[in-house]
């Protein structure tokens, strides 16, 4: 059983900061700097080119993939890391469409993270005419799964509201209609237990710099279900996905299974940070994490609703949400800037969403209460109504 009063010590958080933005960029694990330094100095510096073998760099994308796979309910050997989430979306979608050659519709929803939709748009411009990206409201996804749909590609948890789709039910519905599924787990992996294999998901993708805490620009991951492993065709046919990368054949032969979803040279230094982050995850009971996440989220919702008139944007039912709490306010941008100025870090998403990531590994009741109190004070005193908070800056 994970003791969440102890896990905070595994992170290096600045004093005076209440960090509720781990759903955007997780904080620095204490072990990461040394692990990265080791890779830079003792591996690259000392072993040079031979480190690809002697330090196991070449094998790491698979090993790290499996460690993530364990967090998302994947069968061992079917997850690999690399590239960015956008690239992994492209890979999954291109492969899925080829598996259903007689259908032409990609179904997604307006709650998807935009880059997923953009990557689909880009892919459609390459493909022969006739393909269509059909984007419906999140609540209409189930009814939009028809026999025209080749692939349902959705993000499980809405990046703005925290609304969570029912993976089991939607995957079943899609399969009933002969469609495949791609699940974007950007806001799921490390947020709560995911059960890819149990749900029968066909493809999944995600990033590791949010709840997983692997650092800015950390590599993404892709999962291909065992039933598709031998047939999924890699559109991004990079040399490290080749069956024999170091034979340097002129023609491409896809590697076995998930290996073919590797593309180019893996980001060794970022992998070191991912490795340190995953060391923490090996000690975490994900069911306990989920229970704790809901406990903290409910506490935050109750406090904020008791002390402000902010409108809850996140579904109230626990099963319908991920691990973030969002509120709406027309002056959300300025309110968030005022919060940040007082050390409570959440973020803002246009047009009116205040987002707060609930991350039990390093958040306690005290901080949840503090965040709610500062928020209430800012609203009660109109402290947000100052020019320095209202002026829009570039946001991330």
- Can residue 249 be called a binding residue for its own copies (CB under 8 A)? yes
Applying the rule CB under 8 A, the residues between 287 and 306 that interact with its own copies are none
Q: What is the crossing angle of helices 85-99 and 114-126, to 10°?
A: 50
- For the question of residue 210 being annotated catalytic, the response is yes
Minimum distance of its own copies from residue 285's CB (angstroms): 26
CB of 78 to its own copies, least distance (A): 21
Residue closer to its own copies by CB (options 61, 73) is 61
Give whichever of 118 and 197 is closer to its own copies, judged by the CB atom. 118
Binding test (CB under 8 A) with its own copies, winner from 7, 18, 32, 293 = 32
Residue 44, marked binder: no
Give how many residues touch its own copies by CB under 8 A.
Answer: 92
Let me know how long the chain is.
396
Token pair, residue 169, equals: 């039910």
Kindly tell me which of 268 and 376 has the beta carbon lying closer to its own copies: 268
Least distance to its own copies, CB of residue 225, Å: 21
Q: Is 110 annotated as a binding residue?
A: no
Question: For residue 236, which of 213, 220, 247 has the smallest C-alpha distance?
Answer: 220
Which tokens sit at 365?
Answer: 């009741």
CA-nearest of 93, 203, 213 to 156 is 203
Q: Which is nearer to its own copies, 58 or 288 (CB)?
A: 58
Is 113 considered catalytic here? yes
Dihedral pair phi/psi, residue 268, rounded to 5°: -60, -40
Tokens of 176: 């009933």
> Does the annotation place 320 within a ligand binding site?
no
- Annotated catalytic residue, options 210, 262, 292, 321: 210
Site for its own copies in 252-271 (CB under 8 A): 252, 263-271
Residue 113 labeled ligand binder: yes
**Helix, strand, or coil here: 227?**
helix
3-state helix/strand/coil string of 95-110: HHHHHCCCCCEEEEEC
C-alpha separations of 181 from 70, 167, 177, 201, 350 in Å = 20, 10, 11, 6, 28
Give yes or no for residue 86 binding its own copies (CB under 8 A): yes
Q: Between residue 100 and residue 119, which ones bind its own copies under the rule CB under 8 A?
A: 110, 113-115, 117-119
Catalytic residue among 184, 202, 347, 352: 184
Active site residue 209: yes
Of 113, 159, 348, 362, which is the active-site residue?
113
CB of 236 to its own copies, least distance (A): 6
Based on the residue annotation, tell me whether 355 is a catalytic residue of this protein: yes
SS3 content of the chain, % helix, strand, coil (to 5): 45, 15, 40
Pairing status of strand 105-109 against strand 149-155: parallel
Query: How is residue 374 written in tokens?
Result: 């500062």
Of residues 318 through 357, those in contact with its own copies by CB under 8 A are 340, 345, 347, 349-350
- Which of the residues 33 through 72 are near its own copies (CB under 8 A)? 33, 36-37, 40-41, 44-46, 48-53, 57-58
- For residue 15 the two structure tokens come to 């004093």
Q: Does 226 bind its own copies (CB under 8 A)?
A: no
Q: Which of 10, 64, 207, 378 binds its own copies (CB under 8 A)?
A: 207
Dist CA 67 CA 290 (whole Å): 19
**The one segment of 20-28, 279-287, 314-322, 378-386 that binds its own copies by CB under 8 A:** 20-28
Residues 146-165 that bind its own copies (CB under 8 A): none
User: Which of 4, 203, 209, 221 is flagged as catalytic?
Assistant: 209
Let me know if 177 is a catalytic residue.
no
The response to whether 85 counts as a known ligand-binding position is yes
Neighbouring CB atoms inside 10 A of 256's CB total: 10
- The answer on whether 138 is annotated among ligand-binding residues is no
Candidates 366, 356, 294, 372; CA nearest to 324 is 356
∠ CA 3-346-295, nearest 5°, is: 35
E strands along the chain, which residues?
18-19, 79-82, 105-109, 132-136, 149-155, 180-184, 203-207, 220-224, 311-312, 324-328, 344-345, 347-349, 353-357
> What are the residue numbers of the active site?
113, 184, 209-210, 355
- Residue numbers in the known binding site for pyridoxal 5'-phosphate are 85-86, 113-116, 155, 184, 187, 209, 239, 265
- Residue numbers in the known binding site are 85-86, 113-116, 155, 184, 187, 209, 239, 265
């Amino acid at each position: 059983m994970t003791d969440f009063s102890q896990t905070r010590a595994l992170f290096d958080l600045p004093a005076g900061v209440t960090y509720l933005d781990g759903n955007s960029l997780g904080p620095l694990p204490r072990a990461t700097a040394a692990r990265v330094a080791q890779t830079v100095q003792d591996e690259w510096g000392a072993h040079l080119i031979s480190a690809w073998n002697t330090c196991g760099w070449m094998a790491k994308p698979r090993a790290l993939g499996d460690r993530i796979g364990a967090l998302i309910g994947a069968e061992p050997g079917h997850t690999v890391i690399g590239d960015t989430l956008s690239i992994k979306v492209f890979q999954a979608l291109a492969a899925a469409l080829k598996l259903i050659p007689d259908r032409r519709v990609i179904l997604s929803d307006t709650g998807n993270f935009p880059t997923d939709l953009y990557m689909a748009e880009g892919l459609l411009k390459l493909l022969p005419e006739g393909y269509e990206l059909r984007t419906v409201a999140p609540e209409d996804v189930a009814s939009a799964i028809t026999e025209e749909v080749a692939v349902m590609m959705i993000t499980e948890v809405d990046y703005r509201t925290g609304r969570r789709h029912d993976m089991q039910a939607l995957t079943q519905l899609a399969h009933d209609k002969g469609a495949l599924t791609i699940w974007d787990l950007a806001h799921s992996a490390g947020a709560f237990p995911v059960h890819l294999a149990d749900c029968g998901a066909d493809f999944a993708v995600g990033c590791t710099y949010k709840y997983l805490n692997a650092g800015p620009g950390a590599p993404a991951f892709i999962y291909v279900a065992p039933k598709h492993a031998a047939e999924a065709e890699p559109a991004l046919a990079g040399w490290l996905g080749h069956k024999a990368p170091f034979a340097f054949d002129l023609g491409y032969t896809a590697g076995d299974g998930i290996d073919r979803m590797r593309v180019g040279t893996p980001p060794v230094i970022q992998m070191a940070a991912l490795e340190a982050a995953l060391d923490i995850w090996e000690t975490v009971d994900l069911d306990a994490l989920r229970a704790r996440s809901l406990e903290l989220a409910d506490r935050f919702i109750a406090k904020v609703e008791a002390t402000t008139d902010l409108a809850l944007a996140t579904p109230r039912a626990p099963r319908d949400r991920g691990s973030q709490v969002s509120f709406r306010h027309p002056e959300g941008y300025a309110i968030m800037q005022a919060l940040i100025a007082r050390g409570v870090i959440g973020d803002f998403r246009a047009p009116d969403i205040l987002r707060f990531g609930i991350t039990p590994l390093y958040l306690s009741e005290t901080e949840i209460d503090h965040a709610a109190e500062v928020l209430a004070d800012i609203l009660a005193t109109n402290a947000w109504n100052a020019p320095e908070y209202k002026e829009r800056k570039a946001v991330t």
